[in-house]
Amino acid sequence: MRLSIIMTKSFKTFLKHTAKDFHNQSVNPPVVRASTIIFKSTQDIRKMQNKAIKNPTGGHFDYARQGTSTTYNLQKILTKLEESYHVFTTQTGFGSVFLAIFSLVRPGDEILVSDPVYSPTRNLTQNFLKEFNIETVFYDPHNLKTLQKNITSKTKLIFVENPGSNTFDFQDLNKIISIAKKNKVYTAIDNTWGTPYYLKPIKLGFDMSIVSATKYYSGHSDVMGGSLAVNKKVFTKVKNAEKITGQRLGPDDAYLITRGLRTLDVRLDKHSDNAKKVAAFLSGNRKIELLYPYKKNSQNYRMWKKYYSGASGLMGLKIKAKSAISVRRFVNSLKLFGYGYSWGGFESLALHQENRETGKRKYLNLAKDEHLVRLHIGLEDPSDLIADIKQALRYLK
């Protein structure tokens, strides 16, 4: 079977022309479901296994837990997009977070994690791994001295989420990479917000880059998955961990994510354009501090502009209100925004961020009258979204 992977100079053109199946004369690759990979003879099995040893990124399988041509096809596409050595795929975005950390960290090691990290990642590193004698220290994303001073001989990994979950803190990524390399520490980044459309972490110098494929890769809120892009230095470690844990995306989910990738650029451009218009409207409200790269004189804007080629549709609002009740009323009165977790789909979403969403952070200090709301700006008409937000603002007291 010949699947065409054409890399052009243009990201946009590549997404439209990749993975054509000339064997079946289809513009889309087939969904290959299998538990057993069959061979004509024992000798053919050994030949395939030898190929896998010589070319471990080449999609040579002897058992379907390693994947099928459908999952391998998605891996090839993402490897091109990430400009990485290889991309592993997992059943969920958080599966890629786990695989990245599990691949490198062992009992007695320490991890440095950015304070505004995704709350399940915080729970994994701060609580779960502690039971295995792995310590986690959180650093201030706006003061990297808190990163540098906490590096010890036991530090194995710096885990970054950029921008920070819910508060959208943008960090100086080159400084983090420089500190890590100076101290011979591995680096991983959760790049779900930007995707490789706006930021290519491996090219920048990170060892690993995580994207929740559930979000913008899929784009339709109907599939879950994760990707872990790696450089050559960590490839073997991740490969071994993947095999041991059985982390593997299924073929049906891989197909849906591949299909979603065809329009990644078009959707992200529209999400971004809509978000800018909503941000412009909200920036004039005295009760709201916009957590989005909008203010040109802010540190967050400078750090975003330094590394990213664009901004996605996810933003935060820091709202000044006398009580959480009025904030909840504001959120609940939105007509065009759904209420639920996740994001990255075509629809707009709103979520009042309580402690369960933000986690108990060390460097987040909210006043009693400050409340967080997360908005995902979807693909609707932005004038309708703005009108909806405008009518809901009357509930903020």
| Confidence (pLDDT) at 57 | 86
pLDDT digits (tens, 9 = 90+) for 227-241: 999 999 999 999 999
CATH number at 374 reads 3.90.1150.10
Please state the rounded mean pLDDT for residues 137-162: 97
Range of the domain at 173: 3-261
Q: Is residue 167 located within the same domain as residue 22?
A: yes
Helix, strand, coil shares of the chain as percentages rounded to 5?
Answer: 40, 15, 40
Q: Is residue 170 located within the same domain as residue 245?
A: yes
Q: Is residue 225 located within the same domain as residue 340?
A: no
Please state the rounded mean pLDDT for residues 148-152: 97
pLDDT digits (tens, 9 = 90+) for 165-182: 999 999 999 999 999 999
3-state secondary structure of 168: coil
Please state the rounded mean pLDDT for residues 159-170: 96
Tell me how many degrees the CA angle 371-338-269 measures, rounded to the nearest 5.
90
Q: pLDDT over 70 for what percent of the chain?
A: 95
CATH number at 55 reads 3.40.640.10
Q: Is residue 216 located within the same domain as residue 295?
A: no
Q: Is residue 271 located within the same domain as residue 137?
A: no
**Span of 8-12, 113-117, 271-275 with lowest mean pLDDT:** 8-12
| Confidence (pLDDT) at 1 | 41
Question: Where is the domain boundary, 231, 261, 291?
Answer: 261
| Confidence (pLDDT) at 8 | 55
Give how many domains the chain has, as a whole number.
2
Q: Is residue 168 located within the same domain as residue 317?
A: no
The residue to which tokens 């391998």 are assigned? 72
pTM above 0.85, yes or no: yes
Q: Is residue 33 located within the same domain as residue 62?
A: yes
Residue 330 neighbours by CB under 8 Å, 6+ apart: 319, 321, 373, 392, 393, 395, 396
Q: Is residue 210 located within the same domain as residue 125?
A: yes
pLDDT digits (tens, 9 = 90+) for 179-217: 999 999 999 999 999 999 999 999 999 999 999 999 999
Whether the predicted pLDDT of 261 surpasses 60: yes
What average pLDDT is seen over the chain? 92
Q: Is residue 244 located within the same domain as residue 317?
A: no
Q: Is residue 385 located within the same domain as residue 243?
A: no
Q: Is residue 340 located within the same domain as residue 373?
A: yes
Question: Where is the domain boundary, 237, 261, 285?
Answer: 261
